[in-house]
């Protein structure tokens, strides 16, 4: 199983047991705090194994043996790997069925890059593509968090694979009932908050958003404040660019290093507008959280699933240009319709609700178990 949000749903149920299998280089991530968290969530850690290698076949054999030993020892019925790890490449040789789950960055970034670049990278990438294709074709089931991911998989592999569209989902009820107690810096008091909830990274085009905000009329800028999340992996040069754009924007701002889940929801509740313009994406939980928090939302021009992110539920860009975004921000701050906020909230309860999505995962697990 592949994601702590999903795993904890099952590990804390009396009718399921959940295990993480880790690689050698991941052992250092098992800090005392992380081990405590796993214990509290009743998640058992197994391993370690070596990472998958195209060349060190003897290590692959040893790792595969170890995985099957864990399956037998723990009486595991279903294996659930995340695509952008080597674990999906083991699934062709396991003793039980597997579900391969894909997310936006896995497909639109990782998979799309394979087989490109230098001659050596092309050889290496094309060999991996063949193995990934075989893994997908032999999986017991495939799940994606968006239709666009499945379309991209079939485009790259030239296949006609079927998949369940299962979103990670968000805790709609908890977000809705949350009473925000988060305090932002004093300079932001009395301002309309514009929240940029994706980390400061080139792929999320933070600089585009700030430039668009900088082009707003001065009278409107005086009413606003921008809240950003830096994250841990922001390239130094890109952070310098963003800081430069912020310094000349004429808008009060606060850059927060990181936010807990509840703090994130609190900022949405405090905000008059949230903006996300990634170059590639899946079904972003941050957008679903904005909708659950009843925060007006602008999304970029990326092709999202229309059942969740059509203009019935949020404002959408046609192309990712600063002048278009400036106009959309102005309109959103002045004319965002309450019926759009209400429609988005009702829709995320139906199509982006984690409890409902996890029940679909459970149904998938049980169907595969019955086939053993």
The secondary structure element, H or E, covering residue 213 is helix 206-214
> Tokens at residue 185, please?
């810096």
> Tokens at residue 294, please?
């009843």
- Measured over the CA atoms of residue 86, residue 88, residue 92 and residue 95, the dihedral's sign is positive
CA separation for the pair 130, 257 (Å, rounded): 40
Same domain (yes/no): 117, 194: no
The pLDDT value recorded for residue 1 is 39
> Tokens at residue 67, please?
């995985």
The pLDDT value recorded for residue 15 is 92
* pLDDT tops 90 at residue 113: no
Lowest mean pLDDT among 129-138, 217-226, 260-269, 331-340: 129-138
Residue appearing with tokens 């999986």: 139
Same domain (yes/no): 212, 319: yes
Structural domains counted in the chain: 2
Judge whether 41 and 20 are in contact, CB under 8 Å: no
> Tokens at residue 40, please?
């509290």
Secondary structure letter of residue 108 according to DSSP: I
What is the CATH number for 90?
3.40.50.2000
Binning the chain into helix, strand and coil, the percentages to the nearest 5 are 50, 15, 35
What's the whole-number mean pLDDT along residues 269-284?
93
Same domain (yes/no): 127, 150: yes
The pLDDT value recorded for residue 372 is 63
Same domain (yes/no): 193, 325: yes
Same domain (yes/no): 78, 219: no
Compute the radius of gyration of the chain from its Cα atoms. 22
Lowest mean pLDDT among 44-58, 201-215, 298-312: 44-58
* pLDDT tops 70 at residue 153: yes
Same domain (yes/no): 67, 193: no
The pLDDT value recorded for residue 281 is 86
Same domain (yes/no): 152, 273: no
Same domain (yes/no): 23, 73: yes
CA separation for the pair 290, 344 (Å, rounded): 9
CA separation for the pair 135, 100 (Å, rounded): 8
CA separation for the pair 177, 192 (Å, rounded): 22
* pLDDT tops 90 at residue 295: yes
Give me the sheet containing 164-165, strands edge to edge: 99-102, 141-144, 164-165
Same domain (yes/no): 204, 64: no
Same domain (yes/no): 177, 164: no
Beta bridge partners of 99: 141
Same domain (yes/no): 264, 289: yes
pLDDT (tens digit per residue) in 232-272: 889 999 999 999 999 999 999 999 999 999 999 999 999 99
Same domain (yes/no): 24, 147: yes
Q: Domain limits at 78?
A: 4-169+354-369
């Amino acid at each position: 199983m592949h994601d702590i949000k999903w795993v904890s749903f099952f590990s804390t149920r009396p009718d399921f047991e959940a295990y993480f299998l880790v690689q050698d280089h991941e052992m250092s991530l098992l800090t005392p705090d992380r081990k405590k968290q796993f214990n509290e969530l009743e998640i058992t850690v197994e391993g370690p194994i070596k990472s998958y290698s195209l060349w060190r076949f003897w290590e692959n054999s040893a790792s595969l043996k170890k995985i099957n030993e864990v399956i037998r020892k723990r009486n595991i019925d279903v294996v659930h790997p995340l695509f952008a790890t080597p674990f999906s490449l083991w699934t062709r040789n396991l003793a039980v069925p597997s579900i391969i789950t894909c997310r936006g960055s896995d497909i639109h970034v990782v998979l799309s890059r394979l087989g490109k670049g230098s001659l050596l990278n092309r050889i290496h990438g094309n060999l991996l593509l063949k193995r990934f294709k075989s893994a997908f074709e032999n999986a017991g089931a495939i799940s994606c968090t968006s239709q666009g991911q499945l379309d991209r998989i079939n485009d790259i592999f030239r296949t006609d694979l079927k998949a369940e569209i299962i979103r990670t989902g968000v805790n709609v009820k908890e977000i809705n009932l949350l009473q925000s107690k988060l305090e932002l810096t004093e300079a932001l008091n009395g301002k309309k908050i514009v929240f940029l909830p994706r980390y400061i990274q080139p792929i999320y085009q933070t600089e585009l958003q700030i430039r668009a905000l900088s082009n707003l009329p001065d009278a409107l800028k005086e009413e606003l404040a921008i809240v950003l999340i830096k994250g841990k992996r922001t390239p130094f040069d890109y952070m310098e660019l963003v800081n430069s754009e912020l310094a000349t924007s004429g808008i009060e701002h606060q850059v927060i290093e990181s936010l807990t889940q509840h703090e994130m929801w609190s900022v949405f509740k405090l905000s008059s507008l949230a903006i996300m313009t990634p170059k590639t994406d899946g079904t972003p939980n941050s957008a679903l959280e904005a909708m659950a928090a009843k925060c007006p939302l602008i999304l970029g021009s990326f092709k999202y699933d229309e059942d969740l992110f059509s203009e019935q539920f949020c404002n959408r860009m046609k192309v990712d240009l600063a002048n278009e975004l400036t106009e959309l921000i102005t309109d959103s701050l002045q004319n965002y319709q309450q019926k759009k906020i209400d429609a988005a909230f009702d829709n995320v309860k139906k199509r982006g609700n984690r409890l409902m999505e996890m029940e679909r995962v459970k149904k998938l697990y049980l169907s595969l178990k019955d086939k053993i």
